């Protein structure tokens, strides 16, 4: 089997036992990228030289007989909204096309401490706003299972890269589903941690009260390893949770006996593709056969979560994106005076979806509309969160589809509102700040279906254990996308 | 109509965005559709419900007031579209 097809944990053993070298592995991933990148376009920037230097350093450690960290020498990719010192970080926006951060995000520091090899920065929807990666300011990324389809978004490049073997693991960011939904569409594992579990320092802000960085991986074990590497308190992020992160690999236990699963009935309502609902139901039946208990629960404010999100997130975005003014960094256009310079710089630099959300947010926060829209949405957010609190008084985890359908065709959802509806199963989780994981649970017409397991705050271990038990009883995670056949 | 072309023009100015007449038309239609959809929130009685701006019960996270190294000036200015004598340079903001 080609090296790029292996998981990080298998490759770790091969590295430590000197069956392969980190440089060899990194070159194998580059060769894979050379082969598939023209079709997929997962990367905005590749960092091959730097990656080979990192790999060589790991090989030296191994040669000296040192024990290496789990991700040491394993090639991974970062969504291009995560700051990397000295390496361009564009957020897939023309306004940041030449931006080179003067510092590393905390997650990048943590990965460096593990000697992980970083091979590149992946494409995404501009400033993480979108669900298909079609909103990138540069180019679209394609789904390895069907190149006529989207990889999902906004972290579509990270999802496609992991599925296609252009990286063994990757990081994305999830504000309303931007890790879980592309993981579902590309058939890999994606986890959004509890809000505050992973530092946001160096993650370019979209909607600060919702954004969270998390892993993409080929299986649940790798997902736990990447989460181990990045989780924990960070003094540089005042919203980071001040509690030690556990060792998530301890949750890799194939046991769901007595696990109480709730099925939120609102997530199986009209609009869900029948094959998706059927795949989830089949997976739940399997977990029940393995000893879990299941009951239907209700999250009655689900239908209000989406409109609340599309006021709150744009409101925060309109404020966060005010910094792109052509002064300190980013694109500057010439103007007749400073206001004209601001307007021209921003209009040339931002794409249509970013402009739409900035205007929507500005409107929702503007005098006369603040109470009717923004404050109302924040109150609804409280109700959405209370729904989860009530459900979690009865059950340990909630299981639902990750997305209402499998990956859609490029250009299929041209209406913004239709695109927003794709986030219906993921957005409430961000509003409540909960952890959620998406794992492959079947196929519909050859396209992967993602199952979402939602946990209580800081219960990443519980959802990882449930996901691991299901994964190990099936072989969905071992299947390769058509592009993955080599 | 929740938002008309005139409103979009105002919001565009507040957002520091320049719009062609065609863009103003298109955004008026799209923002209207989104705001009309958001109207379903009004079906909910939220009287007395506390707003949630943030899910974590964090307040006033403090650190000791110690001097620490800051970003060197040349790095802070490295991405500036225009800089001069160690400062960011912008178009004239005052007459005279």
The ipTM value here is 0.95
- The shortest CB-CB distance from A382 to any of B8, B40, B50 is to B50
pLDDT, one tens digit per residue, over A90-103 is 999 999 999 999 99
Instruction: Find the distance separating the first CA and the last CA of chain A, reported in whole Å.
Output: 10
Q: A18 in the Ramachandran plot: left (φ > 0), alpha (ψ -120 to 50) or beta?
A: left
CB contact under 8 A, A385 and B52: yes
Query: CA dist A205 to A82, A173, A201, A324, Å?
Result: 10, 10, 9, 12
Question: Is residue A173 annotated as part of the catalytic site, yes or no?
Answer: no
- The residue of A326, A345, A379 whose CB has the most chain B CBs within 10 angstroms, and thus the best one to mutate to test that interface, is A379
Q: B28 touching A, CB under 8 A?
A: no
Question: Is residue A192 annotated as part of the catalytic site, yes or no?
Answer: no
Select which of A21, A79, A155, A240 is catalytic: A79
pLDDT, one tens digit per residue, over A429-451 is 999 999 999 999 999 999 999 99
Q: Which residues of B touch A355 (CB under 8 A)?
A: 15, 17, 27
Taking the C-alpha atoms of residue A253 and residue B54, their distance in angstroms, rounded to an integer, is: 33
Answer whether residue B96 shows pLDDT above 70: no
CB contact under 8 A, B71 and A355: no
* Residue A366 to chain B, least CA–CA distance (Å): 9
Answer whether residue A270 shows pLDDT above 80: no
Q: B80 touching A, CB under 8 A?
A: yes
Question: Is residue A154 annotated as part of the catalytic site, yes or no?
Answer: yes
Taking the C-alpha atoms of residue B42 and residue B28, their distance in angstroms, rounded to an integer, is: 21
pLDDT, one tens digit per residue, over A374-410 is 999 999 999 999 999 999 999 999 999 999 999 999 9
Query: CA dist A356 to A336, B30, B89, Å?
Result: 25, 8, 29
Within 8 A by CB and 6+ apart from A46, the residues are: A33, A119, A120
Please tell me the predicted confidence (pLDDT) of residue A486. Answer: 41
Name the helix (H) or strand (E) containing A12.
Answer: helix A8-16
CB contact under 8 A, A102 and B80: no
Token pair 């592009």 is at which residue? A483
Q: Which residues of B touch A212 (CB under 8 A)?
A: none
Which stretches within chain B are classed as H helix?
5-14, 21-38, 73-77
pLDDT, one tens digit per residue, over A356-376 is 999 999 999 998 999 999 999
Q: B44 touching A, CB under 8 A?
A: yes
pLDDT, one tens digit per residue, over B41-95 is 999 999 999 999 999 888 888 889 999 999 999 999 999 999 999 999 998 887 7
Residue A472: CA count within 13 A, CB half-sphere: 14
């Amino acid at each position: 089997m080609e090296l790029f097809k292996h998981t990080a944990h298998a490759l770790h053993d091969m590295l430590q036992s000197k069956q392969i070298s980190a440089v060899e592995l990194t070159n194998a991933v580059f060769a894979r990228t050379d082969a598939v990148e023209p079709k997929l376009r997962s990367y905005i920037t590749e960092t091959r030289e730097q990656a080979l230097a990192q790999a060589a350093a790991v090989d030296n450690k191994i040669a000296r007989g040192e024990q290496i960290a789990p991700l040491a020498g394993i090639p991974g990719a970062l969504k291009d909204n995560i700051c990397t010192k000295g390496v361009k970080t564009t957020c897939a926006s023309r306004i940041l096309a030449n931006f080179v951060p003067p510092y590393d995000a905390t997650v990048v520091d943590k990965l460096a401490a593990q000697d992980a090899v970083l091979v590149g920065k992946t494409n995404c929807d501009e400033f993480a706003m979108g669900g298909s990666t079609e909103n990138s300011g540069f180019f679209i990324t394609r789904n390895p299972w069907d190149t006529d389809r989207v990889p999902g978004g906004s972290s579509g490049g990270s999802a496609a890269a992991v599925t296609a073997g252009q990286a063994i693991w990757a990081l994305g960011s999830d504000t309303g589903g931007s890790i879980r939904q592309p993981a579902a569409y590309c058939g890999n594992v994606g986890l959004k941690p509890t809000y505050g579990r992973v530092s946001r320092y160096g993650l370019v802000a979209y909607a600060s009260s919702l954004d969270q960085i998390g892993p993409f991986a080929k299986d649940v074990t790798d997902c736990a390893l990447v989460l181990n590497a990045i989780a924990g308190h960070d003094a540089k992020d005042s919203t980071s949770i001040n509690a030690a992160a556990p060792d998530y690999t301890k949750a890799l236990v194939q046991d769901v006996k007595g696990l109480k699963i709730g099925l939120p009935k609102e997530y199986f309502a009209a609009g869900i593709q029948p094959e998706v609902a059927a795949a989830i139901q089949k997976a739940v039946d399997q977990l029940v056969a393995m000893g879990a208990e299941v009951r239907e629960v209700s999250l009655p404010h689900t239908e209000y979560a989406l409109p609340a999100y599309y006021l709150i997130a744009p409101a925060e975005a309109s404020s966060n994106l005010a910094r792109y003014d052509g002064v300190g960094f980013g694109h500057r256009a010439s103007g007749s005076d400073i206001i004209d310079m601001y307007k021209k710089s921003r209009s040339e630099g931002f794409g249509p979806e970013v402009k739409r959300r900035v205007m929507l947010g500005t409107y929702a926060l503007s005098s006369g509309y603040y109470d009717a829209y923004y404050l109302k949405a924040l109150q609804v957010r409280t109700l959405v969160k209370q729904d989860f609190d009530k459900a979690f008084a009865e059950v340990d985890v909630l299981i639902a589809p990750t997305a209402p359908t499998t990956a859609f065709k490029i250009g299929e959802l041209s209406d913004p509102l239709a695109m927003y509806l794709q986030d219906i199963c993921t957005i409430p989780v961000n509003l409540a700040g909960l952890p959620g994981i998406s794992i492959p649970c079947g196929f519909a017409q050859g396209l992967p279906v993602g199952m979402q397991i939602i946990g209580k705050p800081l219960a990443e271990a519980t959802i990882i254990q449930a996901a691991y038990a299901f994964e190990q009883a099936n072989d969905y995670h071992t299947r390769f996308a058509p592009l993955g056949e080599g | 109509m929740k938002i008309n072309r005139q409103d979009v023009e105002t919001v565009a100015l507040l957002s520091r965005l320049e719009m062609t007449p065609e863009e103003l038309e298109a955004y008026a239609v799209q923002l209207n559709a989104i705001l009309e959809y958001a109207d379903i929130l009004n079906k909910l009685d939220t009287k007395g419900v506390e707003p949630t701006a943030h899910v974590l019960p964090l307040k006033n996270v403090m650190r000791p007031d110690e001097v620490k190294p800051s970003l060197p000036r040349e790095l802070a200015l490295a991405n500036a579209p225009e800089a001069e004598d160690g400062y960011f340079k912008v178009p004239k903001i005052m007459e005279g």
